[in-house]
Amino acid sequence: MIDYLKGRVVHLETEYIVVDVKDIGYRVFTPNPYVFARNEEPVTIYIHQHVREDAILLYGFQTRDEQTLFRKLIDVSGIGPRVALGVLAGGKPETIIAAIQQENVAFLTKLPGIGKKTAQRMVLDLKDKLFGLLDGEAGSLAAAGLLADFAVHPSDREGSKAWQEAREALMALGYTSAELDKAWHGLQESVTADESVDSLMKRALQQLFKG
């Protein structure tokens, strides 16, 4: 089984990247291909190899934490690899873990592809299996009250979709996940359901310039 690949990202699409490893191109499905857009040097991508009757598929992640959480998620009934990718695209691992441990079904149902019953299964199946996965980061996040902010001010699904597109475009410009998460934290209370991607990008850039 493939555990990781190290090579150059030579192509990307909306759902996957192509990694050149010693003149062999591997197609790797990943939560956010655009995070690799500016990587010209070799990168390490942690892999989950999924074998079906008709295909062998590779799912890739920037960190071991994402790889491990992905494997936990696909063990939950009703969550396949594509849904698990959507979950990881919709939230950072520590945020998702904190939500599961807090039984925050309202937050989990905001993640792509997750309905109420699936969110409840996630809590039931994983709540006691995630302790120590991120060396206490999830607990620190919960203590900081960030999940409470999401619960009180969740953008609706249209706003979330627009932000995801804006976020991907900004990451392609070189901004990091941490910078964009901070910008979103300052924007989410004022986001409207019909706000455009361009508007969100402009306002996020204003937040980023402020530091």
Give the chain's mean pLDDT: 82
SS3 of 85-125: the string is HHHHHHCCHHHHHHHHHCCCHHHHCCCCCCCHHHHHHHHHH
pLDDT (0 to 100) of residue 140: 55
Distance (Å, whole) CA 21 – CA 190: 44
CATH architecture classification, 4-61: Beta Barrel (2.40)
Specify the pTM: 0.67
Each residue's pLDDT tens digit, 170-189:
777 777 777 787 787 778 77
Q: Can you identify the CATH homologous superfamily of domain 65-152? A: 5' to 3' exonuclease, C-terminal subdomain (1.10.150.20)
Question: What are the phi and psi torsion angles at 30 (to 5°)?
Answer: -145, 155
**pLDDT at site 142:** 47
* 12-71 residue pLDDT tens: 888 999 999 999 999 999 998 888 876 678 999 999 999 988 899 999 999 999 999 999
Torsion over CA: 14, 19, 23, 24 (sign): negative
